Chain A
Amino acid sequence: MTDDRSTPLQKILTYATLSVVLALVLIPYGYAIVTAFKPPYEVYEVSWWPSEISFGAWRDVFAINHFHLYLWNSLIAGLGSAVLAVAIALPGAYIFARKEFPFREPFFYIIVGTLVFPFILLIVPITIVWIRIGLFDTFLGLWLAFQIFAVPYSMWILRGYFARLPRHLEEAAQVYGCTQFQAFWRVMLPMAKPVIVSVLFLAFLQGWSDFLFSNMLTTGDGPRTAAVAIYTSTAGGERVEWGPLMVMTLLAGIPPVVLYMFAQKHLARTFAGAGH
Chain B
Amino acid sequence: MNVLDAITVLEAETIVKGEGLEKTIKHVIASDLMSDVLLVDEEDMLLLTSLASDQVLRTAQIVGAAGVIVVNGKSLPSSMMQVAQDLRMTLAVSKFPKFDACIAIHQYMTK
A binds B: no
